[in-house]
Amino acid sequence: MSGKVFLAESAGFCYGVKRAVELAQKTAEETGGCWMLGDLIHNSHVVEDLARRGIRKTEDPGSLGKGDTVVIRSHGEVKNVLDDLEARGVRCVNATCPNVCRIQKLVAQAEQDGRQPIIIGEPHHPEVVGVASWCRHALVFDGPEAVKMWLEKDTSHRQIPVTVVAQTTCIRKLFESSWEILKKECTNVKIFDTICNATHKRQTEAAAIAGKVDVMVVVGDRKSANTKHLTEICQKRCSRVLQIESADELSAEVFKDCGAAGLTAGASTPAGIIKEVYASMSEEIKAAEGMDESFEELLNQSFKTLNTGEKVTGIVTAITPTEVQVDVGAKQAAYIKLSELTDDPTAKAEDIVHVGDEIETYIVRVNDVEGYAELSKKRLDAVKVWENIEQAVEDKTVLEGTVTEENKGGIVVSVKGVRVFVPASQSGQPRGADLSSMIKQKVQLRITEVNRARRRVVGSIRSVTEEARKAAQEAVWSTIEVGKHYTGTVKSMTSYGVFVDIGGVDGMVHISELSWSRIKTPSEVCKVGDTLDVYVISFDAEKHKISLGVKDRTLNPWDVFMNKYSVGDVASVRIVKLMTFGAFAEVVPGVDGLIHISQIADRRIDKPEDVLSEGQIVDAKITAVDEEKKKISLSIRALLTPTAEAEAAEDAE
């Protein structure tokens, strides 16, 4: 088996990538030159070749105009970008992989059916970003741990019907472990296995080859997600895995003592590059076999000297249940005990590091006699965290952490494993608030005090929130204008109106501006915490006062009344005010009519309240309308007493 190179049958272009490249080339020939929005595929060599064929690249959709032709990349594009391009007359040739198009349709249909779309994949990958844009709100998780955090954050999530899809190049194990959690914890789950068949075949084949060779080479662009996943899969089966973009990166040293080598390539890698790498590997393996012993002597001379207490960087070569073996370029065999890898007693080594990872550690002990060096990642991490914390004080850096507990006088926030005490006055919560409600919440804070010797760190959430609020206020005051609409939140209420937060600034909505109907208190139409669509009536930037309105000024109540009623019509009205001479009744919101005391009953009454009460709904006849003065006369009596004509008719009978 010496010198043999095993080439994966499925290496190279998949159907979707091949289709995209051919479609782009054909479009360029037909148009004499066209555009691609970003990289058509994740391979710089292919993109450069396309450029030579007249397919220019742009990252800015706005730079394209009517008459331009653009080829949409195989990963797909954000929906509103596509819509905008078409609206501006740009011809779009859609080279999106059919498998990706299917996922786009699945998430759109899920939302239409009232389901929560969930995508398992890399949140920032162009394919995932594009797919997520085909619905209003998709959730993206990069694996089972993120799914667990989402479910633990709010148990109500478990009742939501969900539809689960995967990025086409997602590692199958990640997808399956993610949907198994969702299926177990949620009551209504639909799962669509959208991992590309070619991807699954390529990953399975790569794993099989990696398990029987000494060196595994993965070819593909470093921006390619599926190439990265291939590398990760191979690293679990082979101790020496090399990810390259071209044959230039190979050398004979890579294949030293190599009995057999394996070769696979990502979905965006052209056949020409694969062929070149295959030929180069064969030559380099032969060269490695011909190396003389002087190479070993030179290698021994290059070994570094290890000293206790120093930092050292190495490559993870093997992982066992109790330790991680590391090549640090020294004669000694170096290893990290699991207890020196992490503080988490439940963590597994393979969840923290992988074979082939570069790792920076602290040298705990060197035993030259027995030929080993004991390392610690945990101690170095702790030193780095404290250095970062101390630097954060000087730089006033905003850090993120999770609230872990409430104690006397405040809360504790975990920032990269360091306990940060936040006094209640700096928690950003009102005085006397229940701080236990903040536990498990992610918060942003600044470090205000560090005492490394006493391991004491103090922080402030309030300084960050106040700064954000101040910035929001400045943004409001710099753009505010009469008539501008805001979506605000009711912060407090008085007898004469409500105060609404429109983004860090409070505005006043007078009770008369809350509704066209007559109301006695604001609580009749809203409550604290409600969201209101408000607009600016007036403002005083110097005094920082804003007058807001809620009533729709385009809807004139008098016009509504005139379109709906005429003299002689009967209306169901609400009694809004009782006077000595009669009662006012609301005919439509914002328009009242007068029922004179003589028109309230079919008999003489001393005062209106003998018959009516405020809030009562009664039927009344519209007897007169003064359009100029916008006054309405109503009568209940007209519906109770027969008219003179009716009485005369009855007498005649």
- Concerning whether 29 is annotated as a catalytic residue, the answer is no
pLDDT, residue 323, reads 86
CATH code: domain of residue 70: 3.40.50.11270
Last residue of a domain, one of 439, 466, 493: 466
Same domain for 577 and 632, yes or no, is yes
Kindly state the average pLDDT of the residues 515-528.
84
Which is catalytic among the residues 9, 22, 111, 127?
127
Q: Is the entire prediction scored with pTM above 0.75?
A: no
Q: Does residue 324 surpass a pLDDT of 70? A: yes
CATH code: domain of residue 167: 3.40.1010.20
b (16+ CB within 10 A) / e for 401-419? bebeebeeebbbbebeebe
Same domain for 129 and 42, yes or no, is no
Pairwise CA distance, residues 501 & 509, whole Å: 11
Query: Does 326 reside within a domain?
Result: yes
CB atoms within 10 A of CB 89: 11
Pairwise CA distance, residues 602 & 557, whole Å: 31
Same domain for 204 and 287, yes or no, is yes
Query: Does 626 reside within a domain?
Result: yes
Kindly state the average pLDDT of the residues 111-128.
93
Q: Find tokens 């590997």 and name the residue.
A: 281
Same domain for 338 and 402, yes or no, is no
* Residues 551-592: tens digit of each pLDDT: 666 567 888 898 889 999 999 999 989 999 999 999 988 889
Last residue of a domain, one of 66, 97, 128: 97
pLDDT, residue 238, reads 93
Instruction: Tell me the pLDDT band of 641, cut-offs 50, 70 and 90.
Output: low
Q: Minimal CA–CA distance to 110: which of 172, 189, 167, 187?
A: 189
H-assigned helices in 480-603:
557-564
Last residue of a domain, one of 493, 523, 549: 549
* Total domains in the fold of the chain: 7
Query: Does 561 reside within a domain?
Result: yes
Residue 119 near residue 128 (C-beta atoms within 8 A): yes
Query: Does 471 reside within a domain?
Result: no
> Residue 171 sits in which domain range?
99-195
Query: Does 34 reside within a domain?
Result: yes
Q: Minimal CA–CA distance to 421: which of 432, 429, 412?
A: 412
Query: Which pair of tokens denotes residue 203?
Result: 């990953």
Residues 219, 221, 227: CA angle, nearest 5 degrees: 60
pLDDT, residue 303, reads 57
Query: Does 388 reside within a domain?
Result: no
Same domain for 73 and 143, yes or no, is no
Same domain for 521 and 501, yes or no, is yes
Query: Does 274 reside within a domain?
Result: yes
Q: Find tokens 């239409």 and name the residue.
A: 112
Same domain for 148 and 159, yes or no, is yes
Residue 571 near residue 609 (C-beta atoms within 8 A): no
* Residues 440-491: tens digit of each pLDDT: 999 999 999 888 778 888 999 988 888 888 888 888 888 888 888 888 899 8
CATH code: domain of residue 567: 2.40.50.140
Same domain for 247 and 318, yes or no, is no
Same domain for 287 and 322, yes or no, is no
Same domain for 204 and 222, yes or no, is yes
Distances (CA, A) of 469 to 233, 464, 473, 505, 508: 46, 9, 6, 8, 18
Q: pLDDT above 70 covers what percent of the chain?
A: 94
Higher model confidence: residue 587 or residue 198?
587
pLDDT, residue 642, reads 61
Same domain for 210 and 270, yes or no, is yes
Kindly state the average pLDDT of the residues 256-276.
86
Q: Quick one: the chain helix, strand, coil %, rounded to 5?
A: 35, 30, 35
pLDDT, residue 130, reads 94
Pairwise CA distance, residues 135 & 123, whole Å: 15
Query: Does 335 reside within a domain?
Result: yes
Kindly state the average pLDDT of the residues 354-368.
86
